Amino acid sequence: MSNDRVAEESDMLEVRRGGLFRSKLTLFLTALIPIVVLAGMVYWFATKGASLIETPAVPVEKLDFERIILHPAEIIAYVRNTGPTDITIGQVTVNEALWEASVYPSNAIPRLGSATITIPFHWVEGEPYEITAITSTGIKFTGSVEIAKETPKPGWRYFGIFAMLGIYVGVIPVYLGFLWFPFLRRVSKKWMNFFLSLTAGLLIFLGADALHEAFEVAERTPSVFQGVALITIGTLLSFLVLVIVGRRTMGSQASQKGDFYVRLTLTYMIALGIGLHNLGEGLAIGSAYVLGEVALGAFLVIGFAIHNITEGFGIVAPVASGDKPRNIHFLILGLVAGAPAILGTWIGGFIYSDIWATLFFAIGAGAIFQVVYEIIKLMSRESEAGIGNLTNFTGLVLGLLIMYVTGLFVVI
């Protein structure tokens, strides 16, 4: 017992005598040791240890076709080396015929490097094409064009077409949904909660849909970019960032700022979440248009209008009870939720990349789930049961069903 005390005291003394610095140094060193050892191992393997591990006779090469665009009498393929080794493209074929090709900047592509293959070719509209790069080791990598169609060059005409598409599928339906606002203001509190649950149902469906899209696109991205990790990061980050934003704006100060303020903020957050989702939808539409994979008829526009009108409903539901927001808010809310669809079609049409699409969809999903969380919080503040009572449960299920059924009209 006394020994312990002595030791304790000497420790205290040491701390007083500049031991504080020493213990900090020790702490720093212990953190550093693994890194130093790792660096040593990396150095050793990089310099002489490589012979320890036998490399396969045929190197595992990988080349991804990121995008193929078609201009009159010209095929341009963007490729990326996503394998573990540098590769060299030796030959290029179009539909199994050796062809002239220019590879820029070089046919020797370093790991994760990219190149542009330009091929003079009189392609025929509506026919499928396979562009194959044969590497110096004789391995083939092929990118396909399902249906040949001239790729829109960024220009005012396509800018306009895509903007119109975005307005039709994103902006107009959201504003149409706002027209339910007068109706929502007249319903009783019980029914209001029903419609809020319905909104939660709509949003859960949208979130799941965004996640599904994200996984679907992630499957196409080169494995080196770790699509699933991108989704996890994107979804979690957007969810958590919005939780913090929510706390800052609605949480602690809610009592001071009042119920109206909380509801309006929630409305804006729903609009933002839906906006991110619509950005993803725009991406899908734009890129599908470019790939010639979309039958851009009235049917698609009608489908999206029916599907997305529910989004407008969901946005205005939280502000339906209490004070009525000024009209300018509706204008802005509609733009926040709908306009990203226009941006999405532009991005999808002109500079589409699977990696960005994955991330956009994931961010959209995270944002939507956060909004669902806020709505449920709002509802449990208003009624003890939250979504636990039968009316609210029915609302939520109905929301899911509405989305499912209207989703049948949207086929890209």
Partner 1 sequence: MKNQLSRRNFLHVGMGVVGGSALLTGQSLAEKNKKGVILNPGMGHQKDSTCPCHLQNVGKGSTAYKDGEMNPMAFLTTFDYGKVKTLPSGDVEREYTIIAQDKEIEIAPGVQYPAWTYNGYVPGPTLRCMEGDRLKINFINTSHMPHTIHFHGIHPAGMDGVFEQVKTGGKFTYEFTADPFGLFLYHCHTMPLKKHIEKGLYGTFIVDPKTPRPKAKELVMVLNGFDTDFDGENEFYTVNGYSNYFTDNPINIKVGELVRIYLVNMTEFDLLNSFHLHGNMFHLYRTGTNLREHEITDTVMLCQGERCIIEFSYKYPGMYMFHAHQSEFAELGWMGFFNVLPEVA
Q: How many other C-beta atoms lie within 10 A of the C-beta of residue 333?
A: 26
54 makes contact with partner 1 (CB under 8 A): no
Q: Give the nearer residue to partner 1 in terms of CB position, either 141 or 360.
A: 141
CA triple 273-338-151, angle to 5 deg: 110
- Name the one range near partner 1 by CB under 8 A: 118-126, 356-364, 384-392, 400-408: 118-126
Candidates 6, 25, 36, 98; binder of partner 1 (CB under 8 A) is 98
Burial degree of 20 (CB within 10 A; 0-12, 13-18, 19+): exposed
Nearer to partner 1, 8 or 100 (CB): 100
Cis peptide before 222 (omega within 30 of 0): no
CA distance 82 to 222: 7
Candidate segments 115-123, 213-221, 247-255, 289-297, binder of partner 1 by CB under 8 A: 115-123
Return the bridge partners of 108, or none: 88
Decide: residue 252, CB within 10 A, 0-12 exposed, 13-18 middle, 19+ buried: exposed
- Which residue, 90 or 388, is less far from partner 1 as judged by CB? 90
Residues 63, 75, 101, 283: which binds partner 1 (CB under 8 A)?
101
Nearest to partner 1 of 101, 200 (CB atom): 101
With CB under 8 A as the contact rule, the residue among 76, 134, 161, 208 that binds partner 1 is 134
Q: Which of 107, 197, 221, 287 binds partner 1 (CB under 8 A)?
A: 107
Segment near partner 1 (CB under 8 A); pick from 37-45, 87-95, 303-311, 370-378: 87-95
Interface with partner 1, residue 57, by CB under 8 A: yes
Q: Which is nearer to partner 1, 119 or 174 (CB)?
A: 119
From candidates 94, 270, 368, 379, binder to partner 1 by CB under 8 A:
94
User: What's the CA gap between 235 and 360, in Å, rounded?
Assistant: 9
Size of site (CB under 8 A) for partner 1: 35
Q: Binding string, 140-179, against partner 1, x = CB under 8 A?
A: x---------------------------------------
Chain centroid, CA 331 distance in Å: 26
> What contacts 174, CB < 8 A, 6 or more positions away?
274, 308, 309, 311, 312, 315, 334, 337, 338
State the nearest-atom distance from the C-beta of 142 to partner 1, in Å. 11
Distance between CA 381 and CA 385 in Å, rounded?
Answer: 9
The angle subtended at Cα 304 by Cα 66 and Cα 293, nearest 5°, is: 35
Residue 118 in the binding site for partner 1 (CB under 8 A) = yes
Residue 308: how many other CB atoms lie within 10 Å: 29
Q: Which helix (H) or strand (E) holds 141?
A: strand 140-145
Stretch of 135-143, 330-338, 366-374, 378-386 contacting partner 1, by CB under 8 A: 135-143
Q: Among the candidate windows 89-97, 188-196, 263-271, 306-314, which touches partner 1 by CB under 8 A?
A: 89-97
Residue 371 near residue 273, CB atoms below 8 Å: yes
Does 85 participate in binding partner 1 (rule CB under 8 A)?
Answer: no
Question: Closest CB to partner 1 among 138 and 154?
Answer: 138
Whether 386 contacts 321, CB under 8 Å: no
Q: Does 60 bind partner 1 (CB under 8 A)?
A: no
In the chain, the amino acid numbered 51 is S
Mutual angle of helices 298-316 and 259-290, in 10-degree steps? 160
Nearer to partner 1, 120 or 160 (CB): 120
Hey, what are 18's tokens? 């500049």
Per CB under 8 A, residues contacting partner 1 are 57-58, 88-94, 96-108, 115-116, 118, 120-122, 134-140
